[in-house]
Structure 1
Amino acid sequence: MSETLEFQAETRQLLQLMVHSIYSNKDIFLRELISNASDALDKLRLESLIDKELDVDASDLHIAIEIDKDQRTLTVRDNGVGMSHEEVVSLIGTIAKSGTAELLRKLRESPEQQQRAELIGQFGVGFYSTFMVADKVTLVTRKAGEHHGTRWESAGEGTYEIEALDEAPQGTSVTLHLKPEDSEDQLFDYTADWKVREIVKKYSDFIAWPIRLGAADGPLNSMKALWARPRSEVADEEYHEFYKHVSHDWTDPFETIHMRGEGTFEYEALLFIPARAPFDLYARDGKHGVQLYVKRVFIMDDCEALTPRYLRFIKGVVDAHDLSLNISREILQQDRQIQVVQRRLVKKVLATLKEIKDKDSERYSAFWAEFGRTLKEGLLDDSENRETLLDLLLLPSTHAAEPTSLRDYVERMPEGQSDIYYMTGESRATVEHSPHLEAFLAKGYEVLILTDPVDEVWVEQVTEYDGKALQSVAKGQVDLGAEEIAPERSEGFAPLLTWLGTALESDVKEVRLSTRLTTSAACIVGDKDDMTPTLEKMYRAMGQPMPHMKRILELNPDHPLVTGLREAHAADPQAAGLGETAELLYGIALLSEGGELGDPARFTRLVAERLARSL
């Protein structure tokens, strides 16, 4: 019995884009099918080595391409691990990937076809590329060890048909019912032997399994593992195609790293830094890690033990020589040799990024725009490489519109400045207009503007750079010169400060005169070890209960509002309206830093009443 099912809504929208040929290079459909077939063969060989009781034939694992010119069909067949009925529905009928909604939003907003194509390629949905060249696709599969198969068929529209089969060959075959040869968007005839040979040689030569065309004698591909060949013998184009195979990205990588480890634990590694961030980079359930092989035998995808989470964007392969074929993820996490390999890989990746940064700042800036926020996470977890990571930072600052490195910041520090100043906040505009910056900018001191959520955390753990302390302009006392508050400026403020401290005791723990204000009346600061309001808000958003944290109200002794309040209080400490003025002063300071009022309605009513009395 066959049944007709509807595609998931997101899948349906992506299929429509594929059917309408948004991608100019349609040859890649065959690369994607061969890549999927190769993965299936890798997994079957591994399962057959580990499970000796598995009822499979692993004697001649290969990929076959079959062409029927009369019927205009092209079939890619493998005798790999195959899929169950449930896996067919979940893997093909549904795109169960984080970031799908964001992808579709960007696709709708993008007017350029090439840009839309790159977005889809970046998302990694290779099977659907078949609908660029086919009017209908038929898939037949049988999972290794099972006795019944599954047939799936769709024209790439809203539905697909699926049925159980009593018999089916082991593995998976995908048959493309190609569009007519004279179709407007069909540039090549994919039933031509020469075209298939050309595509395989260009995109899939490195595949480890033989790729056969019909009854041809030998395989179309060389089957040589790229990571085992000397770098001098591998062309950049070969590296790029291998990257697309392991990452399912359609764009070339940003950088290729080919390395070999020798000694007590031998391995080869071929790593890639992508050019663009994947959509699931910040997804909680997003997988990361490189592929692990042991003596050319595939062991697992997404081996997290080989790369730390902050380098989760790294793709590639590590081929170890001395591990067991049935090693588990749990054992890998504890394996000392694997930990050594991870440290070497991390140091090589960071050294490569440092070299790029030193040689080509524009190219490095492009990388930082994609992955800088992720790289900052390493400052929290990787103390061993913290100094290198600090050298890799590019941070916005008040110096210019472009971000700066900490090294350049230090080199620009004027005489008399001993610390590296920064301020965290929700946006650049909020920080730039904050009263906390006034005195620093007046003295010509540059301030780093840190607006990524992770900035709130790493600045608490990193205390210095190059011997210079990292100092928040919104925390603690700041020393901008002993002359800043001369006795004559502070004279007569003590009674006002005491009274304000009492009037605002539910919100502040201290009221004092400020050395950081030049034009604003007041600002709110924290003690040196206090949590910032933004971090407090982040914890609350994650559902963690946080007690209300009182902070410090600082006043500008030269501001007319503050001096006027001092005189009014000195004349009559019980005068009507002084309490409301204190509330307004605190509210203004809170709003100026982007904070949230406890009672917005009361604040606006007080402001309206004061404005009305002034008219």
Structure 2
Amino acid sequence: MSKQLHSFQAEVAQLLHLVTHSLYSNKEIFLRELVSNASDACDKLRFEALNDAALYEGAPELQVRVSFDKDKRTVTIADNGIGMSAQEAIDHLGTIAKSGTKDFMSRLTGDQQANATEQGQLIGQFGVGFYSGFIVADRITVESRRAGMKAEEGVRWTSGGAGDFEVENITRPERGTAVILHLRDDADEYLNAWKLKQIIGKYSDHISLPILMEKEEWKEGEKEGDPGAMVKTGEWETVNKASALWTRPKKDITEEQYQEFYKAISHDFENPLAWSHNRVEGNTEYTQLLYIPAKAPFDLYQQGKHAGVKLYVKRVFIMDDAEALLPGYLRFARGVIDSADLPLNVSRELLQESRDVRLIRDGSVKRVLSMLEDLAKHDSHEAAAEGADGVTDVVSEDDKAKEGKYSRFYAEFGAVLKEGLGEDFGNRERIARLLRFASTAGENVSFADYKARMKDGQEAIYYITADTLAAAKNSPQLEVFKKKGIEVLLMADRVDEWALGYLQDFDGTPLQSVAKGAVDLGKLQDEAEKKAFDEAAEQFKPLLAKLKEALKDKAEDVRVTTRLVDSPACLVVKDGDMSNQLARLLKQAGQQAPEAKPVLEVNPGHALVKKLDGSVHFNDLAHILFDQALLAEGGLPEDPAAYVKRVNALLA
């Protein structure tokens, strides 16, 4: 085909505008991204060639070549991997095809626009690191041919990073892709072999493929006054270790190398909170290198999001996002698993059925949970450093480095971890010990913390779920607990009520929602309080009957309660029923929720309740009482206009 001009997808044009205006605070990242893409292209060829060896075209040695030309002011990153057809070049380099594009772009261009580091991280995570080349280049040329296609079916893609790009057919004898960066005037530092080698060593040393650069040697000047120069010899040398990082002994890998490997596979700009590198031998043999990130990716809650673990078999890349290797609630983990036992042609379907994969999965889950337990143990190390004898323990530098990391992790991923209560029965107790909540007594409270503070005679761990933390803190259902100084866990994540449905107790102590069932504080209520309640229940029987009749379309029952101190009424549901909050969340998500009427509980000591008896406005007051209780828990009256009309009538 002759040259064809195409317009970038709107989101790409927007992205390129950000990139060309110094989006990345660290410009040299462009080389890491492009070398990583080249390595991925070789991995893909190796995988496709498992079923079709002809794709190697007689050249099975895979490699990446980095070169520069001072006269032409270009840097070229070339690979002999899978390559692209003309249509693939148009699709891959001109559009962002992933779902979630709109959210991705809004994150890039919203309030966080000034945060170049976070935006760079988003670009990398979204898999469009190719565009980072425009940080240092005012024009990029890509020449490619897909493995297995004819030489004359090569393609050249060219763009200046503005609103369009040009595509034309070329003859390209070799398969693979060459990305040619035409450098900006301020990017001369990258026309230097030492600088390029230094960047490769820093960011790409872990890549298992050889990264080659042309050797240089010093040549003396031929004329007097000519200082001489470095000249290329025509020979190529490997400038990285060219061995997969996870296959090396741990003692030979520095902390910085572990961190840079994480950044390369996750496209994250922040260092990980923790990592674990192990070789497992036994019924199945595999190596795992797993990381706990410090920052949640933008698509963490995107439907169908898989775990960020790469699967290799005998150091041959098999697939990204191998969801069979980690359950969904650990999808935040990143890393590599390299099996010595799985077949090279393993498919996603076979992964679901493989006994070896189940063993790898179980081992990887335990490893991730162990890392989290270690972080949690050190999270409040300063508070725990002083022993029972008042003597401060010696805290190692390694322990100090871990302080506060679990709080960082939990702020980003706590809601995801809670999903494990419903997904992983075998590890439910370990997961429960890792959970943290706000409470009426403080922040970041664990179930173990709560149990240690329980009052004498307290028989349950009390909690409340609500739409927001403020709604939970101010709920009328907490009044008697606050009066008696009983701690209540405050839960405001959407997943909380669903997850707590799978956890009936912690270490033998039952969990009890303060918004379900009649309040029963057992030994925490004295005989005088119980007697007063029984008398009020008997005295208010006629009034309760009238209220029940007036609210028969709204309330399952009406009863007096001891849980209220300052409020006139509140709504609760029967034990075992779905809470009003969860029912609202399901309806908002377009799902069906069981229609269950709540129970209205009234405070017999409140002036408004006392005023009900004999009032000419009894019916209006009864409905106002119900609707106010609904508002207090975050709901809305079924007929807001009728509610306003009743309140106005009484005020007038």
TM over 0.5: yes
Deviation, 1:543, is: 2.6
**Is there any run of 5+ residues in structure 1 with no aligned partner, and where?**
570-575
User: Partners of 1:20 and 1:5 in 2: how far apart?
Assistant: 23
Quick check: 1:309 aligned with 2:349? no
Quick check: 1:378 aligned with 2:420? yes
User: Partners of 1:73 and 1:420 in 2: how far apart?
Assistant: 66
Tell me if the contact between 2:573 and 2:599 (Cα under 8 Å) persists in the aligned partners: yes
Mark the CA change 1:411 to 1:289 in structure 2 (over 3 Å): closer, same or farther. same
Give the aligned residue type for 2:170. L
What is the TM-score normalised by the length of structure 1? 0.94
CA deviation string 1:110-129 (max 9, x = no partner): 33444544454555531111
Moved more, 273-282 or 541-550: 541-550
User: Partners of 1:231 and 1:283 in 2: how far apart?
Assistant: 35
Quick check: 1:243 aligned with 2:262? yes
Tell me if the contact between 1:98 and 1:280 (Cα under 8 Å) persists in the aligned partners: no
Where in structure 2 are the equivalents of 1:126-205 lying within 5 Å? 126-147=129-150, 148-167=153-172, 169-180=174-185, 183=186, 186=187, 189-205=189-205
Percent identity, aligned pairs only, is: 47
In the other structure, the counterpart of 1:109 is 111
Deviation, 1:397, is: 1.3
Q: The residue matched to 1:50 in structure 2 has which SS?
A: coil
Tell me if the contact between 2:76 and 2:178 (Cα under 8 Å) persists in the aligned partners: yes
User: Partners of 2:450 and 2:68 in 1: how far apart?
Assistant: 63
Q: The residue matched to 2:61 in structure 1 has which SS?
A: coil
Where in structure 2 are the equivalents of 1:145-544 lying within 5 Å? 145-147=148-150, 148-167=153-172, 169-180=174-185, 183=186, 186=187, 189-214=189-214, 215-361=234-380, 362-400=404-442, 402-480=443-521, 481=525, 483-484=529-530, 485-544=532-591
Mark the CA change 1:541 to 1:85 in structure 2 (over 3 Å): closer, same or farther. farther
Give the aligned residue type for 1:490. A
User: Partners of 1:348 and 1:370 in 2: how far apart?
Assistant: 20
CA deviation string 1:234-270 (max 9, x = no partner): 0011111211222222332221110111012111111
Mark the CA change 1:47 to 1:514 in structure 2 (over 3 Å): closer, same or farther. same
**Is there any run of 5+ residues in structure 2 with no aligned partner, and where?**
215-233, 381-403
User: Partners of 2:97 and 2:118 in 1: how far apart?
Assistant: 23
In the other structure, the counterpart of 1:94 is 95
In the other structure, the counterpart of 1:579 is 619
Deviation, 1:76, is: 0.7
Computed over aligned residues only, the root mean square deviation of the Cα atoms, in angstroms, reads 1.8
Tell me if the contact between 1:514 and 1:556 (Cα under 8 Å) persists in the aligned partners: yes
In the other structure, the counterpart of 1:563 is 610
In the other structure, the counterpart of 1:601 is 641
Deviation, 1:167, is: 4.0
CA deviation string 1:405-433 (max 9, x = no partner): 11111111122322111111110111112
Deviation, 1:595, is: 1.2
In the other structure, the counterpart of 2:63 is 62
User: Partners of 1:372 and 1:152 in 2: how far apart?
Assistant: 44
User: Partners of 2:450 and 2:594 in 1: how far apart?
Assistant: 36
Deviation, 1:544, is: 2.7
Mark the CA change 1:474 to 1:409 in structure 2 (over 3 Å): closer, same or farther. same
Give the aligned residue type for 2:20. V
User: Partners of 1:491 and 1:388 in 2: how far apart?
Assistant: 47
What is the TM-score normalised by the length of structure 2? 0.89
In the other structure, the counterpart of 2:42 is 41
Deviation, 1:535, is: 1.4
CA deviation string 1:498-522 (max 9, x = no partner): 1211111111111100121011101
Quick check: 1:591 aligned with 2:631? yes
Deviation, 1:547, is: 4.5
CA deviation string 1:386-414 (max 9, x = no partner): 111111111111112x2211111111112
Moved more, 542-551 or 389-398: 542-551
Q: The residue matched to 1:299 in structure 2 has which SS?
A: strand
Give the aligned residue type for 1:388. R
User: Partners of 1:429 and 1:346 in 2: how far apart?
Assistant: 34
Deviation, 1:581, is: 1.6
Count, aligned residues = 599
Tell me if the contact between 2:284 and 2:359 (Cα under 8 Å) persists in the aligned partners: no
Tell me if the contact between 1:289 and 1:301 (Cα under 8 Å) persists in the aligned partners: yes
User: Partners of 1:500 and 1:112 in 2: how far apart?
Assistant: 57
Q: The residue matched to 2:212 in structure 1 has which SS?
A: strand
User: Partners of 1:490 and 1:212 in 2: how far apart?
Assistant: 86
Tell me if the contact between 1:423 and 1:449 (Cα under 8 Å) persists in the aligned partners: yes
Where in structure 2 are the equivalents of 1:115-130 lying within 5 Å? 115-121=118-124, 123-130=126-133
Tell me if the contact between 1:123 and 1:278 (Cα under 8 Å) persists in the aligned partners: no
Give the aligned residue type for 1:190. Y
User: Partners of 1:344 and 1:113 in 2: how far apart?
Assistant: 38
